[in-house]
């Protein structure tokens, strides 16, 4: 049901930032209305002589300036556009390139970042048609994305000028790219956007540029990934940036790319072996620990251990200096003593789930989970027969609990906590050992909780929650989905539905709908498959669920249909970390 470790960020105030976004949007719109292409090109690329300037002006025209804003919702975004004199009904499309750039800068799963592109039209000084390119990342109040918004507002990474290429063909594009490079513009990424069938080439502006914009875009309609590959090959080695659809560059040919993919199993087992040997715990000296000492400590063959450590160093899990090896921040997550330790996940993914993936071909051919083919039973029953494995599974689920830091601030939860009269109750259905419910109850002392789980898990949850104040406000009930209690105000299904096929999901949701009082809310926490097919952790977990549980990940629209089949309506969708979302449903 559960997995992974989150990235948390500070939460700045919203009101002041909304004003700041409106001011930035208005300034960008004013700039676009005022500029002439030839004058702007001469300012962007100082040193252009007359003939070359004329040639560039003939080949491309100033099209837009871009700004990234962070509205709390769709209504606020449309209001900001209208306040700046921009069409509030501009069509929105998913972003591929900007979402990828944000994810790389902030170490997030691209699926966490629902970036849209809007291009409200404006007119230039001679009446020519232009646009303000608005990138919008929705950041609800209290969202874990607020820190990203604060940093991006400060640095304005995505602000850029854009020129459209007239009649693009490979020869023209290569000539334009060469001209920009010759005058000091450095390659700064790019990508192909399949939603609009267009290719973008980003540059860093020359050091002596005469505008405040530090990035420039050339946009060519059509698929020009062959030219793009050469452009991306010029990126600095220290920060390679590739569009998800980009053709492999000269530095990495297709055979090398495929070989890297084929060796992914080696990485899984190297990390699992690091966890099994408790290597990170053995590196207990801040100055580093040598191979002989580590080998004695963990009971390993020194030369073989040295080979493993070199591989782990290549992965960035450990670092080496003259005094020996020490864990990096990445490797520290494999320390069993660390808060939010991912060691249980490494043991699960390198253990029973790894073994079941060897039977993926069986799953694809038969439609039956590889786990069941290997072990002769589903993974819930298999874990129930092995208390040690069951405990490891529960620990691996709990290790991802910090991913839910924003959930106690969800409007549904805060409204329940502030409601007058009797204390409101949060029902966590199949809530594991109570990590999520504990967070909600700890954040809101006025709330009460009910945790519904299998008998053996209920006892583990009781032990865990009794260590804090939340345990006194929690009722523990052993049962299954048919036993959903009818006395709740907020119901939570956290990473439950993806374990099951659609028919079983409908059965679970019907049990919830039948039990929920008329006023109650349902919060469903799941990864969402991106509707635009962009790379996502959810896509990987879709394969994992298919092979191990027979379940699946789904799009938001798919969940909306399942909810509708059970008499519930999807009324909200809030992003969390690592591709997860909180879907808010209630009776119509």
**DSSP designation for 482:** G
Annotated catalytic residue, options 160, 379, 382, 498: 498
**Average pLDDT of 17-46?**
87
Specify if 66 maps to a domain: yes
> What's the rounded mean pLDDT across residues 259-268?
86
Mark which of 308, 330, 350 sits at the end of a domain: 350
Residues 269 and 190 in one domain: no
Please, which pLDDT band fits residue 236 given cuts at 50, 70 and 90? low
pLDDT recorded at residue 15: 44
Same domain, 298 and 222: no
Residue 156: is its pLDDT beyond 80? yes
In this predicted structure, the answer to whether residue 334 has a pLDDT above a threshold of 70 is yes
In a shared domain, residues 28 and 84:
yes
DSSP 195-224: TTTEEEEEEEPPTT-SSS--EEEEEEES--
Out of 329, 350, 371, a domain closes at 350
Q: Is residue 362 part of a domain?
A: no
pLDDT of residue 241: 38
Query: Is 498 assigned a catalytic role?
Result: yes
* Environment class of 16 (CB within 10 Å of its CB; exposed 0-12, middle 13-18, buried 19+): exposed
With bands split at pLDDT 50, 70 and 90, how would you rate the model's confidence at 253? Answer: low
- pLDDT digit string, tens, across residues 280-309: 999 977 777 899 999 999 999 999 999 999
Asked whether residue 247 is assigned to any structural domain, the reply reads no
What's the average model confidence in pLDDT over 462-469? Answer: 85
Token digits of residue 348: 């699960």
- Is residue 137 domain-resident? yes
Q: What is the pLDDT of residue 109?
A: 78
- Over residues 227-246, mean pLDDT: 58
Q: Are residues 189 and 328 in the same domain?
A: no
Residue pointed to by tokens 């192909």: 192
Q: Structural domain of residue 51, as residue ranges?
A: 15-237
- Give residue 103's pLDDT band: very low, low, confident or very high (50, 70, 90): confident
Q: What is the pLDDT of residue 237?
A: 42
At residue 576, does pLDDT exceed 60? yes
Flag whether 341 is in a domain.
Answer: yes
Q: Are residues 275 and 341 in the same domain?
A: yes
> 3-state DSSP call for residue 279?
helix
Please report, for the domain that includes residue 479, its CATH number: 3.40.50.150
Q: What is the pLDDT of residue 538?
A: 83
Q: What is the pLDDT of residue 393?
A: 78
Confidence label for 235 from pLDDT (cuts 50, 70 and 90): low
pLDDT band, residue 474 (cuts 50/70/90): very high
pLDDT at site 322: 81
Q: Is the pLDDT of residue 244 over 80?
A: no
- Check: CB of residue 6 under 8 Å from CB of residue 403: yes
Say how far apart CA 168 and CA 139 lie, in whole Å: 37
Same domain, 46 and 167: yes
- Assigned token pair, 436: 């999520």
pLDDT attached to residue 19: 59
Give percent of the chain with pLDDT exceeding 70: 90
Looking at residue 111, its pLDDT comes to 75
Predicted pLDDT at 238: 35
The per-residue pLDDT of the chain, averaged, comes to 85
What does the alpha-carbon distance between residue 408 and residue 411 come to, in Å, rounded to a whole number?
8
Task: Please determine, for residue 559, whether its predicted confidence score (pLDDT) is greater than 80.
Answer: yes
> In terms of pLDDT, which residue wins out, 140 or 565?
565
Q: Residue 523's pLDDT is what?
A: 97
Least confident of 89-98, 147-156, 237-246, 551-560: 237-246
Residues 276 and 422 in one domain: no
pLDDT band at 406 (very low <50, low <70, confident <90, very high): confident
Between 586 and 182, name the one with better pLDDT: 586
Report how many domains make up the chain: 3
- Which of 123-127, 130-134, 577-581 shows the lowest mean pLDDT across its residues? 577-581
pLDDT of residue 400: 66
Long-range contacts, stretch 379-387, CB < 8 angstroms, 24+ apart: 379/352, 379/548, 379/549, 382/352, 384/454, 384/456, 387/456
* pLDDT for 189: 85
Same-domain status, 406 and 545: yes
- Whether 56 and 116 map to the same domain: the answer is yes
Do 453 and 502 lie in one domain? The reply is yes
Residue-wise pLDDT for 345-401, tens only, equals 899 899 988 898 999 999 999 999 888 898 888 777 888 788 788 777 777 776 666
- pLDDT at residue 8 greater than cutoff 70: no
Domain containing 319 — which CATH number?
1.10.10.10
Instruction: Report the SS3 class of residue 263.
Output: coil
Cα 169 to chain centroid, rounded: 35
Q: Are residues 146 and 36 in the same domain?
A: yes
pLDDT higher than threshold 80 for residue 534: no
Residue 32 above 70 pLDDT? yes
Give the mean pLDDT of 393-413: 76
| Contacts of 568-575 spanning 24+ positions with Cβ under 8 A | 568/509, 568/512, 568/513, 568/522, 573/528, 574/140, 574/143, 574/406, 574/410, 575/112, 575/113, 575/114, 575/138, 575/143, 575/145
CB atoms inside a 10 Å sphere around CB 87: 16
Does the residue 168 lie in any domain? Answer: yes
Do 410 and 329 lie in one domain? The reply is: no
pTM listed for this prediction:
0.59
Q: Is 378 a domain residue?
A: no
Q: CA 579, CA 571: separation in Å to the nearest integer?
A: 19
Cα–Cα distance for residue pair 266/280, rounded to 1 Å: 19
Q: How confident is the model at residue 172 (pLDDT cuts 50, 70, 90)?
A: confident
- For residue 75, the domain's CATH number is 3.10.180
* Domain-located, residue 366: no
């Amino acid at each position: 049901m559960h997995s992974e470790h989150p990235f948390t960020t500070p939460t700045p105030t919203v009101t002041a930032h909304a004003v700041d976004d409106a001011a930035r949007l208005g300034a960008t719109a004013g700039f676009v209305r005022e500029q002439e292409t030839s004058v702007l090109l001469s300012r962007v690329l100082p040193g252009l002589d007359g003939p070359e300037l004329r040639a560039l002006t003939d080949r491309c025209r100033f099209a837009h300036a871009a700004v990234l804003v962070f509205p709390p919702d769709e209504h606020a975004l449309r209001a900001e556009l209208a306040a700046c004199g921009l069409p509030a009904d501009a069509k929105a499309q998913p972003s591929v390139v900007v979402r990828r750039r944000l994810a790389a800068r902030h170490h997030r799963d691209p699926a966490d970042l629902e970036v849209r592109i809007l291009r409200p039209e404006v007119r230039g000084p001679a009446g020519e048609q232009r646009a303000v390119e608005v990138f919008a990342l929705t950041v609800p109040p209290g969202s874990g994305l607020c820190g990203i918004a604060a940093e991006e507002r400060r640095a304005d990474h995505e602000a850029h000028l854009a020129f459209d290429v007239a009649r693009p063909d490979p020869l023209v594009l290569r000539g334009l790219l060469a001209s920009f490079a010759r005058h000091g513009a450095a390659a700064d990424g790019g990508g192909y956007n399949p939603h609009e069938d267009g290719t973008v080439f980003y540059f860093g502006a020359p050091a002596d540029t005469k505008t405040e914009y530090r990035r420039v875009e050339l946009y060519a309609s059509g698929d020009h990934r062959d030219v793009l590959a050469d452009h991306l090959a010029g990126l600095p080695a220290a920060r390679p940036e590739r569009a998800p659809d980009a053709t492999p560059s000269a530095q990495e040919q297709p055979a090398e790319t495929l070989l890297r993919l084929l060796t992914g199993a080696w990485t899984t087992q190297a990390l699992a072996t690091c966890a099994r040997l408790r290597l990170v715990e053995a590196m207990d000296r801040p100055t580093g620990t040598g191979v002989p000492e580590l080998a004695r400590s963990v009971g390993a063959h020194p030369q073989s251990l040295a080979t493993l450590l070199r591989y782990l160093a290549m992965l960035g899990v450990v670092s080496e200096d003259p005094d020996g090896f020490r864990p990096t921040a990445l490797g520290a997550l494999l320390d069993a003593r660390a808060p939010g330790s991912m060691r249980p996940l490494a043991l699960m993914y390198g253990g029973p789930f790894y073994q079941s993936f060897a039977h993926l071909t069986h799953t694809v051919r038969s439609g039956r989970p590889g786990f069941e083919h290997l072990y002769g039973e589903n993974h819930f029953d298999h874990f129930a027969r092995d208390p040690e494995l069951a405990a490891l599974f529960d620990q691996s689920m709990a290790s991802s609990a910090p991913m839910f830091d924003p959930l106690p601030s969800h409007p549904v939860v805060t409204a329940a906590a502030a409601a007058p009269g009797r204390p409101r109750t949060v029902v966590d259905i199949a809530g594991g050992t109570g990590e999520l419910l504990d967070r909600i109850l700890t954040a809101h002392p006025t709330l009460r909780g009910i945790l519904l789980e299998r008998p053996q898990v209920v006892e583990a949850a009781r032990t865990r929650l009794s260590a804090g104040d939340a345990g006194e406000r929690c009722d523990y009930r052993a049962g299954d989905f048919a036993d959903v209690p009818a006395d709740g105000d907020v119901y939570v299904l956290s990473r439950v539905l993806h374990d099951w096929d659609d028919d079983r999901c409908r059965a679970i949701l019907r049990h919830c709908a039948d039990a929920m009082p008329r006023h109650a809310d349902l919060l469903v926490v799941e990864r969402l498959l991106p509707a635009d097919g962009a790379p996502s952790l959810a896509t990987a977990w879709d394969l994992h669920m298919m092979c191990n549980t027979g379940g699946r990940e789904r799009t938001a629209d798919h969940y909306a249909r399942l909810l509708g089949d059970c008499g519930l309506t999807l009324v909200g969708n809030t992003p969390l970390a690592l591709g997860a979302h909180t879907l808010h449903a209630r009776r119509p």
